[in-house]
Homo-oligomer: A and B are copies of this chain.
Amino acid sequence: MSALLETIAQLRAEVCALHAELTRYGLVVWTAGNVSARVPGHDLMVIKPSGVSYGDLTPGHMVVTDLYGTPVSGANIGSGGTVDWGNPPLSPSSDTAAHGYVYRNMPDVGGVVHTHSTYATAWAARGEAIPCVLTMMGDEFGGPIPVGPFALIGDDSIGQGIVETLMNSTSPAVLMQNHGPFTIGKDARSAVKAAVMCEEVARTVHISRQLGEPVPIDPAQIDSLFDRYQNVYGR
């Protein structure tokens, strides 16, 4: 049990610190946007609370929930005892259900990030995928960044839309229509990197297209870039 609590303490610190990357790269304003991490080997996750400003976030604010978004309390895992999970008197992010759905249905995913970053959300508002016209996009996304369905908050429809779209794509990012990007990764840091790169390519391709059409990249060359970056290059 103490090993689990130590892991959770580390994830709380890591997830908290990663929110600073969202503000550093201008992906979020006020309290929008959230990062979560799966607790490896357990049906648990660590996620940002609702309604706390980025400047005020501390590791102790991070909420531990099950994969349905319910904050854990009392019941010990695998025994009859009880335990202090250290949860704050705060609700988890209002997007927690979507994070949990992803963890339940994509077992290799260890981190999820959601933002309303400006350029990615602008593509999402048009319901338009971002074409792969940059070598860095080939490296990171292996093709276009796809659009997911319009879905309202309140049930599993956002989570389903994310999973169905990403299952059929090399991309770790999906643009939920009229809403904004969700990104995944093997851990929370990878998912944050995907969120940063998603906004970067959304912005660069937008600006390129303002004055004409970008030159397409041959799909075989995109595959070659992606394969090298993900495998040979060791990421």
Contacts and interface: CB of A to CB of B under 8 A. Distances in A.
Interface of A: 25, 29-30, 32, 94, 116, 118-119, 121-123, 125-128, 133-136, 150, 152-154, 177-180, 193, 196-197, 200, 203-215, 217, 221, 224-225, 228, 233
Contact of A196 (B29, B121, B221): B29
Given A126-B215, A133-B178, 6 more contacts: A125-B133, A125-B214, A126-B212, A136-B179, A152-B224, A177-B215
B121 A204 contact: yes
A135 B210 contact: no
A122 B178 contact: no
Nearest to A53: B21
A20 to B, nearest CB: 10
A197 B121 CA distance: 14
A225 B153 contact: yes
Contacts of A217: 150, 178
Nearest to A200: B29
Stoichiometry (number of copies): 4
Contacts of A154: 228
A121 B150 contact: no
A29 B125 contact: no
Nearest to A91: B234
A135 to B, nearest CB: 5
A116 B136 contact: yes
B215 A211 contact: no
Interface centre among A133, A180, A211, A224 (most CB of B within 10 A): A211
A137 to B, nearest CB: 9
A215 B135 contact: no
Contacts of A119: 207
